[in-house]
Amino acid sequence: MASLSLGLVLSLFLLIIFPVAFSAEAPLTHHGGRLLTGNLNVGILWYGPIPRGQRKAILSFLRSLNGNAASQPQVSSWWKVVESYQSFAKTPARGLPRIPVKVVNQQFDPNYSLGKVLIKDFIKPLLPKATGGKPNTLALIIATKGVTVQDMCAGSCAQHGLIGDQPYVAVGDPEEECPECAWPFLKSPSKVGPTMKPPSGNVGADAMVMLLAGGLAGAVTNPYGDGFYATERGDALIEATTKCSGIFATGGKVLVNPTNSGAYNANGVGNAKFLLPAIWDPKSSSCWTPL
């Protein structure tokens, strides 16, 4: 009976094989600046009429960062690697400090109040709406399909940075604006490997989760431009997830949900599944994924 159960499990959890790449260039190093530590409050501005299913996927991902999923591998394990950067700073943190994430504000701008091209000058007035005026809050600007977010498809699929003293992350739905940023859910001439079905069944939702994960990791580990990063390929700035671009399983395989054939590498709360980008692990100096 045990062997029969094992056979069923193996037949249900199919595997997709990806090229495995590990950077041979310089590792990320800390340049002396502050990281985001302690309680991480985030405020969200939903820019444009973002479908409910996409909002649900993004909020589920944020809850999963510190939550306990019913099965392995877990989103929270990925977030623990982000948290671990504190221990590798020039003045390392003591112990294993956590970074609890909490959504403290949500605002909606369904009518594109600043148009459908969000350059940095237009992002600036949106930040107080995202934070609701709450201090010490990371602003997340989540834009719907058809909105161009600055630098998308121009070297950065997710933007994070600092305007004044306000850190922020801005991501858009790349389905139409930049399909390359939606790989591996959509074809890209610059990417090697098969395309696959998104874990939730919604390309935009799962692509934005993937981009938001990278933006959050960068915002925590290099919020002010003098945290963890490396420069490669000229002056390109390489951060926690861009260091490991195109990798979703360091063992070369991702799981496939037999229910909807969606590919994933991390389980979240409420049985949600996500495909998260690989992240540079400062402990092993290598790319890491939950698989």
pLDDT digit string (tens) for 40-74? 999 999 999 999 999 999 999 999 999 999 999 99
- Confidence band, pLDDT 50/70/90 cuts, at residue 115: very high
Is residue 42 within 8 Å of residue 62, measured between CB atoms? yes
DSSP 8-state assignment for residue 225: S
pLDDT of 235 reads: 64
| Residue 22 pLDDT exceeds 60 | no
- Confidence band, pLDDT 50/70/90 cuts, at residue 25: low
pLDDT of 236 reads: 72
CA distances for 42 relative to 33, 47, 102, 290, angstroms: 21, 16, 6, 24
Pairing of strands 117-118, 29-30: unpaired
pLDDT of 24 reads: 42
Residue-wise pLDDT for 149-177, tens only, equals 987 776 678 889 999 999 999 999 999 88
| Residue 273 pLDDT exceeds 80 | yes
pLDDT of 19 reads: 33
Q: Residue 66's closest CA among 221, 208, 223, 269?
A: 269
DSSP 8-state assignment for residue 96: -
Q: What share of the chain is helix, strand, coil (3-state, %, to 5)?
A: 30, 25, 45
Report the range of poorest mean pLDDT among 75-79, 99-103, 176-180, 220-224.
176-180
The residue whose two tokens read 């649900």 is 56
Q: Residue 205's closest CA among 75, 65, 44, 58?
A: 58
pLDDT of 188 reads: 84
CA 79/CA 109 separation, integer angstroms? 29
**Phi, psi (degrees; rounded to nearest 5) at 277:** -70, 150
At 221, the amino acid letter reads T
Q: Residue 214's closest CA among 177, 169, 178?
A: 169
The first and second tokens of residue 199, run together, are 């874990």
CA 60/CA 37 separation, integer angstroms? 22
Is residue 143 within 8 Å of residue 170, measured between CB atoms? yes
Is residue 83 within 8 Å of residue 99, measured between CB atoms? yes
Give me the count of residues in the chain. Answer: 291
**Phi, psi (degrees; rounded to nearest 5) at 220:** -80, -40
Residue-wise pLDDT for 197-219, tens only, equals 999 999 999 999 999 999 999 99
pLDDT of 219 reads: 97
